[in-house]
Structure 1
Amino acid sequence: MWEVPPKRVNIVGSPYFSTTRALEPNDLSAPAGGFTSTRFILVEPSHPGNVGAAARALKTMGFARLVLVAPRVPDVKNEPEAIAMASGADDVLASAHVVDTLADALVGVRWSVALTARMREFGPPQMPPRALAERAHEFVRHGDIALVFGNERTGLSNADVERCSALAHVPANPAYSSLNLAQAVQVLAYELRLAFQAPASTLAVVGTAGQSASSDEIEGMYAHLEEALVALDFLDPANPKKLMSRVRRLFARSGLEREEVNILRGIAKHILLQTKKD
């Protein structure tokens, strides 16, 4: 089971720390394997009961890595409603990490999926939960993956969606497709459990090319590339339109490897050097 790191960082209500900070890569490290390499991230959850119920949903499926991004109730893990709804999954609730931003929660993640109830004009490729789970089985061999769930009322922002590698939608009843946050967590945890327990022969074989780039490495590349495009006058920062959103979508479809990210950053670096000479 995933245990709280000895540093005891990011624990809301901890007697040792009163504030949160960005996670270091080792803060969320875990042994290899789908169940211990999967983070379930709740962005700005509003209701303590949903946080507790999500912890219970994870434990029933064999998962334990819960991350809370800026929960509306700061000490949510100690709320009576959260503890009651955890109903035996108190350990998962108590060991949840609390961070300030989604970027903090995704540090070290190799592949992330945004769960959304509505279609987006821009953003990463979309897939159903079962295909998501089978794809996830490929990435957990290389490092951590993450499933990202939005706020109960507004869901994920477009910026949060664009930060993820893929997009998923639960194909519920069109006449009433609203899933409770904890129910959505349960559905995805179940699909992942099936995929992680399936015989290797029934799943797609993982490519042996390079190591996939982490979320923070890719975000650094986007920032570097945007700077280069501005220097070339190709991107007007005062009127960016949807250029960077389209660029993100393009690269999200390809599944960037670390070496490819380094190549793109090298190109951006030389563009910036040339524009300074000119």
Structure 2
Amino acid sequence: MTTRFILIRTSHAGNVGAAARAMKVMGFDDLVLVAPRWDDVLRRDETIQRASGATEVLDKARIVGTLDEALDGVSYLCATAMTPRDFGPPTFTPREHLPALAQSGQGVAFLFGSERFGMSNEDVYRCHAAISIPTHPDYGSLNLAAALQLVAYEWRLALGGFGPPKEPGGAPLADAQAVAGMLAHWEQALVDVGFLDPKAPKKLMPRLNQLFNRAQLTPEEIHILRGVAKAMSQAASGLRR
């Protein structure tokens, strides 16, 4: 599952380095710069200094001329915009939108505009959603790297976080697609046993989704939960005979 951070028309080299540092802290390394002010921004002293050791993110980063070139391999775009645009995509806070998006298994790109002008309407209109970070109503100006850090943190949480350090040889975590499949299995089982009314589901499944995200399930645990769901459906089927 691709996670990409795209900086559009960045004007300050230091922000590129700080963005790389923010990404590394959250375990991401796919950075693309669209038409930055400096052609050599990835090698400038200020960039490297502000990266504070996240040089592998800078080494892997790409510079492209257009947003189209930056989108290869991703299918869902999130704008980061302070205010909604007329006729634009729906606007959500990160915590409203990202948990469900994490379960979709899609390649996701988070787009950040220039420090001076933000994102253009044209770029925002191309996105599936706009992510707006809640800030004080009288002062909502966030530094580019600080905004990226917040979004990267919320996205990492939505993906399940890092959790406590595992013992050597500990089981890997199940991926988002496996969790989504298990949730779909549970949804059907809960309908079968009469616990979930599909005509009035309320927020049961989103809450279960968040619960399982917090649990940081392993593939073996996914298998167990699917077994429970299967048994529930079979028991319900027997009762209906």
> What does 1:210-249 align with in structure 2 at a 5 Å threshold?
none
User: What CA deviation, in whole Å up to 9, does each residue of 1:177-214 have, x standing for no partner?
Assistant: 100000000000000111111698xx994698xxxxxx
1:103 equivalent in alignment to 2:97: no
Q: Write 1 or 2 for the structure with the bigger share of helix.
A: 2
Shift of 1:94: 1.7
Structure 1: where are the runs of 5+ without partners?
Answer: 1-31, 209-278
User: What CA deviation, in whole Å up to 9, does each residue of 1:206-230 have, x standing for no partner?
Assistant: 698xxxxxxxxxxxxxxxxxxxxxx
CA contact (8 A) 2:84 2:130 kept: no
- 2:83 aligned residue (118, 124, 143): 118
Instruction: Give the alignment's TM-score, normalised by structure 1.
Output: 0.57
Shift of 1:108: 2.9
Q: Which residue of 2 aligns with 1:152?
A: 115
Query: In the aligned structure 2, how far is the partner of 1:85 from the partner of 1:108?
Result: 28
Q: Which residue of 1 aligns with 2:222?
A: none
1:71 equivalent in alignment to 2:26: no
Shift of 1:134: 0.8
Shift of 1:125: 1.1
The DSSP-based 3-state class of the residue aligned with 1:104 is helix
Q: Which residue of 2 aligns with 1:39?
A: 4
The residue type paired with residue 122 of structure 1 is: F
The DSSP-based 3-state class of the residue aligned with 1:124 is coil
- 2:24 aligned residue (56, 59, 63): 59
Q: Which residue of 2 aligns with 1:193?
A: 156
The residue type paired with residue 130 of structure 2 is: L
The residue type paired with residue 63 of structure 2 is: V
User: What CA deviation, in whole Å up to 9, does each residue of 1:25-56 have, x standing for no partner?
Assistant: xxxxxxx4xxxx10000001000000000000
Q: Percent identity?
A: 49
Shift of 1:117: 1.5
Shift of 1:135: 2.8
- 1:129 aligned residue (82, 86, 94): 94
> What does 1:3-14 align with in structure 2 at a 5 Å threshold?
none
Q: Give the number of the structure whose alpha-carbon radius of gyration is greater.
A: 2
Q: Which residue of 2 aligns with 1:85?
A: 50
Shift of 1:175: 1.2
Query: In the aligned structure 2, how far is the partner of 1:116 from the partner of 1:71?
Result: 19
Query: In the aligned structure 1, how far is the partner of 2:98 from the partner of 2:114?
Result: 22
Shift of 1:92: 0.3
Query: In the aligned structure 1, how far is the partner of 2:90 from the partner of 2:96?
Result: 12
The residue type paired with residue 122 of structure 2 is: A
Runs of 4+ displaced beyond 2 Å: 203-208
Query: In the aligned structure 2, how far is the partner of 1:114 from the partner of 1:196?
Result: 19
CA contact (8 A) 2:84 2:90 kept: no
The DSSP-based 3-state class of the residue aligned with 2:159 is helix
Query: In the aligned structure 2, how far is the partner of 1:106 from the partner of 1:192?
Result: 18
CA contact (8 A) 2:26 2:152 kept: yes
Query: In the aligned structure 2, how far is the partner of 1:135 from the partner of 1:75?
Result: 38
Instruction: Give the alignment's TM-score, normalised by structure 2.
Output: 0.66
Structure 2: where are the runs of 5+ without partners?
Answer: 162-172, 185-241
The residue type paired with residue 73 of structure 1 is: W
Query: In the aligned structure 1, how far is the partner of 2:97 from the partner of 2:54?
Result: 25
Q: Which residue of 1 aligns with 2:138?
A: 175
Alignment size in residue pairs: 170
Alpha-carbon RMSD? 2.2
Shift of 1:106: 1.4
Query: In the aligned structure 1, how far is the partner of 2:100 from the partner of 2:132?
Result: 15
Query: In the aligned structure 1, how far is the partner of 2:100 from the partner of 2:71?
Result: 18
CA contact (8 A) 2:91 2:130 kept: yes
